[in-house]
């Protein structure tokens, strides 16, 4: 990492204040969208249906109230600091509980810190809550240079927690955020007291014996993993190879950005929800997408996939993690299998939830908070 002198290491208060000109520009661009056609009767099988997207775009332009969303987000104390040459945006909400444990929440793509807005206040009963914006995403701003892989991001967040004065703390990560949390545990096992994850990705080792005795639900999860790798990795193929080319369309067209993210919420939320907003709420969905649009971070967030895909260290054999780890599994969407997870992590807590998907904190905030509390309670935290 660069020396801290290479960037402003001070912590600065931050407040979201999107210029009215940006709101006007968004509405104008949405009104001038050039809509293409589609093959009738294909539904969601080939991407986001035109009629659905037209309705969502119309609401974004004339129904969604960004100023109300902005005011709600600004109720949380926000800050920025520079680490390793990169701006880092984060929320820091201290608990009134004298026994509170510091807890860092790490979001997934294509979400943002908005992923945790409904769980912050309940968690402050037991935790000092820190929520980061991943480098290159949202108000952490575009990436300043290449090389921001999972290991580097983890190192930056270890530095951040140290700057906040926390020498022992817990982590919660979702999806890609889970990967960052695990790496933080490897880099700073003497500081990380516990790691809670959901949306964890686990892979079989290749040993056929490892598949013996899998339960019915575990076999379903394994089939889900194979299906995901074969049929639903188009976004990853593009973002991990040609993020810059993709960025032109998403950065210039709000409808393009809208479709790119809404599709993932359709695929990665509880399948009981017919539409993305049925799972997380239309305003929450658009608040999240608006942050990507206003900060111009479609390209830099996609570049994180490029870094992951070209990081040889990410795929190198690693020693089994030592930090106690709790896993929450959404039964109808997740792919984590206990025996695969235990091969790589020190699993001390495993729960399986009937409702929810990858964005568990948004979809099922009460269940999310309860599972986080239960896990850290087993550690005496």
Contacts of 188 (CB under 8 A, 6+ apart): 158
What is the pLDDT at residue 7? 62
CA distances from 248 to 151, 254, 262, 263, 310 (A): 27, 11, 18, 19, 22
Determine the straight-line distance between the first and last CA of the chain, rounded to whole angstroms.
31
Chosen CATH of 4-39+46-378 out of 3.40.980.10, 2.60.120.260, 3.40.50.300, 3.40.50.1820? 3.40.50.1820
What's the chain's average pLDDT? 94
Residue 91's φ and ψ, nearest 5 degrees, are: -100, 145
pLDDT exceeds 80 at position 2: no
Spell out the residues 6+ positions from residue 362 whose beta carbon is closer than 8 angstroms to its own.
111, 114, 115, 118, 279, 280, 281, 284
Taking CA atoms, 262 is separated from 48, 217, 251, 274, 357, in Å, by 8, 28, 16, 13, 14
- Measured CA to CA in angstroms, residue 276 lies from 267, 272, 361 at distances of 8, 10, 15
Strand partners, 328: 198, 351
Q: What tens digit of pLDDT does each residue of 208-230 get?
A: 889 999 999 899 999 988 887 66
User: 123 near 94, Cβ under 8 Å?
Assistant: no
Q: State yes or no: pLDDT of 6 exceeds 80.
A: no
User: Which H or E run includes 93?
Assistant: strand 86-93
60-119 residue pLDDT tens: 999 999 999 999 999 999 999 999 999 999 999 999 999 999 999 999 999 999 999 999
More confident residue, 5 or 239: 239
* pLDDT given at position 381: 66
Find out whether 381 and 375 touch, Cβ atoms under 8 Å.
no
Q: Given this model, what pLDDT does residue 57 score? A: 98
Given a cut of 70, is residue 136 above it in pLDDT?
A: yes
Tally of CB atoms within 10 A around 87? 21
Region 117-125: mean pLDDT is 98
Question: Hey, what are 61's tokens?
Answer: 């332009």
* Residue 205 confidence (pLDDT) above 90: no
Residue with tokens 């949306």: 199
Q: For the range 259-262, what are the long-range contacts, defined as Cβ-Cβ under 8 Å and sequence gap of 24 or more?
A: 259/47, 259/48, 259/53, 260/110, 260/235, 260/298, 261/110, 261/288, 261/289, 261/292, 262/48, 262/53, 262/56, 262/289
Q: What pLDDT does 4 receive?
A: 37
What distance lies between CA 361 and its chain's CA centroid? 10
Q: What is the pLDDT of residue 318?
A: 85
* Whole-number percent of the chain with pLDDT over 70: 97
pLDDT at 233: 78
Nearest Cα neighbor of 51 from 62, 66, 40 is 40
Q: Indicate the length of the chain as a whole number.
A: 381
pLDDT band at 1, cuts 50/70/90?
very low
**Every domain of the chain and the residues it spans:** 4-39+46-378
């Amino acid at each position: 990492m660069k020396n801290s002198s290479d960037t402003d290491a001070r912590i600065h208060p931050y407040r979201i204040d999107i210029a009215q000109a940006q709101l006007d520009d968004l509405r104008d661009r949405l009104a001038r969208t050039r809509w293409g056609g589609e093959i009738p009767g294909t539904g969601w099988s080939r991407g986001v249906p035109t009629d659905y997207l037209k309705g969502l775009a119309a609401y974004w332009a004339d129904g969604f109230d960004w100023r109300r969303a902005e005011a709600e987000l600004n109720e949380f104390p926000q800050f920025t600091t520079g680490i390793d040459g990169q701006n880092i945006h984060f929320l820091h909400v201290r608990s009134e509980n004298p026994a509170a444990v510091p807890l860092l929440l790490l979001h997934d793509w294509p979400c943002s810190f908005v992923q945790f807005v409904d769980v912050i206040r309940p968690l402050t009963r037991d935790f000092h809550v820190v929520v980061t914006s991943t480098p290159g995403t949202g108000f952490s701003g575009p990436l300043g240079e290449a090389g921001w892989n999972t290991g580097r991001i983890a190192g930056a967040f270890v530095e951040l927690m140290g700057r906040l004065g926390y020498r022992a703390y817990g982590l919660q990560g979702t999806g890609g955020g889970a990967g960052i949390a695990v790496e933080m545990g490897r880099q700073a096992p003497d500081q990380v007291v516990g790691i809670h994850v959901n949306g964890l990705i686990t892979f079989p080792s290749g040993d056929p014996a490892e598949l013996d005795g899998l339960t019915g639900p575990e076999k379903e999860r394994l089939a889900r993993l194979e299906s995901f790798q074969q049929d639903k990795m188009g976004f990853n193929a593009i973002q991990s190879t040609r993020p810059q080319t993709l960025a032109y369309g998403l950065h210039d067209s709000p409808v393009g950005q809208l479709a790119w993210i809404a599709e993932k919420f359709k695929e990665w939320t509880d399948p009981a929800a017919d539409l993305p907003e049925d799972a997380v709420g239309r305003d929450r969905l658009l608040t999240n997408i608006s942050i990507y649009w206003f900060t111009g971070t479609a390209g830099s967030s996609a570049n994180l996939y490029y870094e992951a895909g070209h990081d040889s260290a990410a795929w190198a054999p690693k020693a089994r993690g030592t930090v106690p780890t709790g896993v929450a599994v959404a039964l109808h969407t997740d792919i984590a299998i206990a025996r695969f997870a235990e091969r790589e992590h020190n699993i001390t807590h495993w729960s399986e939830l009937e409702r929810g998907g990858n964005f568990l904190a948004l979809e099922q905030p009460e269940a999310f908070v309860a599972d986080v509390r239960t896990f850290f309670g087993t550690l005496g935290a």
